[in-house]
Chain A
Amino acid sequence: MSDSPIAVEEHGPELRHHFASVEQQRDAASLGMWLFLATEIMFFGGLFLAYLVYRMWYYNEFAAGSRSLDITLGTVNTMVLICSSLTVALGVRAAQMGKRMLLVILLVLTLIFGLAFLGIKGVEWYQKYAEHHIPGHSFDASDLAKDYPQLPIDQAHDQIYFSLYFAMTGLHALHMIIGVGIFSFLLFYAWKGRYTPEYHTPVEIGGLYWHFVDIVWIYLFPLLYLIDRKR
């Protein structure tokens, strides 16, 4: 970086050689993350489209499948994830103000919330496995027909609901795992004191990613858990 032939003003080591100023570098990083989130919206968009089509066609099967999910665990998980977004937002603030220990604590809390979410999700998946609700040869939705006689269902079509359930929550969980990885990285460098009021872009754009994954769940929860629970 110092061997750049271009004379630049004095700057800290965090400014990479090809940027003219710290502001330009921060703007670029944040625009890059927003664009990446746009690609993520399109990625999940394909799933939401499939969900929309099949929910129109197989409404009763979707309602029955939805009721068989554990609403308590789902709600707790939603709370856990919202709390994690709060700690992330406070963490970005702590980084901006240069409070290293506070940032570290908030990042640790975020990681704990994230891992708790994944753990609870795992419990829910195991329940589905035990109930033979995993699509495939051993799929069996006769319990749904028995439990919800008011919903006339075609058991084959309920495989579509559970296929979407596992695809959507599975890809969401994969994003959570990546998020946990990113935040472990942030925690490591926060511990070493790399983030200062002048330079904390990684915390900000990592936070953007975390909030996005959180928002996806905010949509997934009602779409998957809350279909027609009154009838």
Chain B
Amino acid sequence: MATAAITAEREHYLNKEYGIRSWLLTTDHKRIALLYLMSITFFFFVGGFFALLIRLELLTPAGDLVQADTYNKLFSMHGQVMIFFFLIPSIPAVLGNFLVPMMIGAKDLAFPRINLLSWYLYILAGLIYIHCIVTGGVDTGWTFYTPFSTAFSNTKVIEAGLSIFVAGFSSILTGLNFVVTIHRMRAPGMTWSRLPLFIWAHYATSIIQLLGTPVLAVTLVLVVFERAFNLGIFDPTRGGDPLLFQHLFWFYSHPAVYIMILPSMGVVAEIIPCFSRKRIFGYHAVALSSIAIAVFGFLVWAHHMFVAGISLYSAMIFSILSYLVAVPSAIKVFNWTATMYKGSISFTTPMLYAFGFIGLFTMGGLTGLFLAALGIDVHVTDTYFVVAHFHYIMVGGAVMGYLGGMHFWWPKISGRMYPEAWGRLAALIVFLGFNLTFFPQFILGYLGMPRRYWQYPPEFQVLNVLSTAGSTILAVGYVLPMVYFLWSMRYGKIADDNPWGAAGLEWKTASPPPTFNFEETPEVTWEAYNYDQIPAPEEVTVER
């Protein structure tokens, strides 16, 4: 292994400096990505722990493991941890941080110190939130609905609100860094129509982060002011309007779903051409559909409020606009499948996750249309149907894409290959466990089981047991990659610079990359996804 000997001596971003200082004070986007990776993994398991407690409580119809108050805290904190501390930063702050500069041929993000600041803000937010958890938690649901959150809840709403405010700041700074980097730091020849679709997806995501997050921030500030200083902006006894809170909240929190799913779509758009050995079908359509999703995403928020007391007229308008989001989403799904058509497909782990993404995202998207339809929404609002729907998007979609991306770029990040057989097994377990967990919830919801209750009528037990069983399988599927990724850092096969024969610029530098990514700034003279000009590497071909 000549490459092994060279890799062992070569200086790269991991072995350039050692010691805790060199990590905590780093401005290297790749090291910051790894800091984020460790911190979001921690919060993923915190949120997962709450999820398992919820599923255990729902194993039986009676409230036996926890009582109502504790249960309220469990689902509130599960939602807030998973959304604000895992899903929102997941792909952008880890894979995006690592890859955005490399994919466009830059040495770093435009503002490396602000990038580090955003991680510290995330950690500060995380510490405040952990303090909130251990000193009593919060029970408002992840949505902070007023007037419960402002006037009635006896839990740590102020702490949770401030923590999420700070986390939002961190998210804004990441998005700002990406937009400036993509605009100003592209290598010569890297035109907009040569950008990888991962970059387009992150560009769209960053726009949402920039324009949506501040609105959530000011809303949470007003909730905190109302609790702390007795202001009355959402207080109905003084003429304030709780619906105004809901409008402001969902103005961010609906687009936030696209902050979670768009980067995943970007990952899938990288994986599928690579393992189909074909140029992506309809590059411009896929690229612009990301922008379209970001734009439409800002126009549909009130579909969360169909039964909250908005007028039927505005409900109809928001219903139609919500259907519109299906158009760019479908463009993506059809173009990915068209890319695979007559491609030479290899069933590697990242590709399995991409398959999982397409299937589960499609189901989540189609049930989203059920919910956008006014008549059906009245029937299934606040039932497990909604719970199943958004878990198909957020877990089935976003997390599948995240895991697929982690496997795809792990050789670049660590310089080692993960064990392929274990990878495929874990992907299969995640897929089966996920469907067993959440498919029964569609049926439960349709039969009328409301969300956010710790007890339920006995006739719902069979489906709930299935769901709980699925969640334990899912947990195994999530722990496995963590174990073998750690294992592979020491024992994995040394990775080539480009083990998949992939097209992006990030594969044209060493694995792991040097601190400034490229020995000299690359000049791009080829179109994106030129798989007709890149031979497939031998291992991948043999395994097909």
A: residues with CB less than 8 A from B are: 4-7, 16-20, 24, 27-28, 31-32, 35-36, 38-40, 42-47, 49-50, 53-54, 57-58, 135-137, 154, 156-157, 159-160, 163-164, 166-167, 171
B231 near A6 with CB under 8 A, answer no
A5-B519, A167-B222 known; A157-B238 Cβ under 8 A: yes
A31-B184, A160-B233 known; A36-B176 Cβ under 8 A: yes
Q: How far is the CB of A168 from chain B (nearest CB, A)?
A: 10
Does B170 belong to the interface (CB within 8 Å)? no
Q: How far is the CB of A206 from chain B (nearest CB, A)?
A: 15
State A49–B180 Cα separation when bound (angstroms): 29
A46-B218, A135-B231 known; A35-B237 Cβ under 8 A: no
Complex interface: chain B residues within 8 A of A32 (CB): 110-111, 114, 176-177, 180
Q: Which range holds the interface residue count of chain B? A: 35 or more
Contact of A43 among B217, B244, B516 (CB under 8 A): B217
Does B239 belong to the interface (CB within 8 Å)? yes
Does B191 belong to the interface (CB within 8 Å)? no
Does B241 belong to the interface (CB within 8 Å)? yes
Q: How far is the CB of B204 from chain A (nearest CB, A)?
A: 15
State A19–B181 Cα separation when bound (angstroms): 11
Complex interface: chain B residues within 8 A of A43 (CB): 214-215, 217-218
A4 near B248 with CB under 8 A, answer no
Does B221 belong to the interface (CB within 8 Å)? yes
**Please, which residue of chain A has its CB at the minimum distance from the CB of B231?**
A163
Does B225 belong to the interface (CB within 8 Å)? yes
A167 near B215 with CB under 8 A, answer no
Does B313 belong to the interface (CB within 8 Å)? no
A5 near B180 with CB under 8 A, answer no
Q: How far is the CB of B112 from chain A (nearest CB, A)?
A: 7
Determine which residue in B109, B210, B239, B514 has the highest number of CB atoms from chain A within 10 A of its CB, and name it.
B239
State A58–B240 Cα separation when bound (angstroms): 10
Does B511 belong to the interface (CB within 8 Å)? no
Q: How far is the CB of B457 from chain A (nearest CB, A)?
A: 41
**Please, which residue of chain A has its CB at the minimum distance from the CB of B251?**
A46
Does B179 belong to the interface (CB within 8 Å)? yes
List 14 additional contacts besides A18-B106, A45-B218; criterion CB under 8 Å.
A7-B520, A18-B109, A19-B185, A27-B184, A28-B185, A31-B179, A35-B179, A38-B211, A39-B211, A44-B218, A47-B222, A157-B239, A163-B240, A167-B225
Query: How does the 8 Å CB contact mask read for B94-106 relative to A, with 1 for contact and 0 for none?
Result: 0000000000001
Instruction: Please report whether the interface of chain B is mostly helix, strand, loop or mixed according to DSSP.
Output: helix
Does B183 belong to the interface (CB within 8 Å)? yes
Complex interface: chain A residues within 8 A of B235 (CB): 159
State A110–B249 Cα separation when bound (angstroms): 37
Q: How far is the CB of B382 from chain A (nearest CB, A)?
A: 26
Does B172 belong to the interface (CB within 8 Å)? yes
Does B107 belong to the interface (CB within 8 Å)? yes
B219 near A46 with CB under 8 A, answer yes
**Please, which residue of chain B has its CB at the minimum distance from the CB of A165?**
B231
A4-B516, A39-B172 known; A135-B210 Cβ under 8 A: no
B233 near A167 with CB under 8 A, answer yes
Complex interface: chain B residues within 8 A of A160 (CB): 232-233, 238-240
State A28–B186 Cα separation when bound (angstroms): 12
Complex interface: chain B residues within 8 A of A167 (CB): 221-222, 225, 231, 233
**Please, which residue of chain A has its CB at the minimum distance from the CB of B29?**
A18
Q: How far is the CB of A26 from chain B (nearest CB, A)?
A: 10
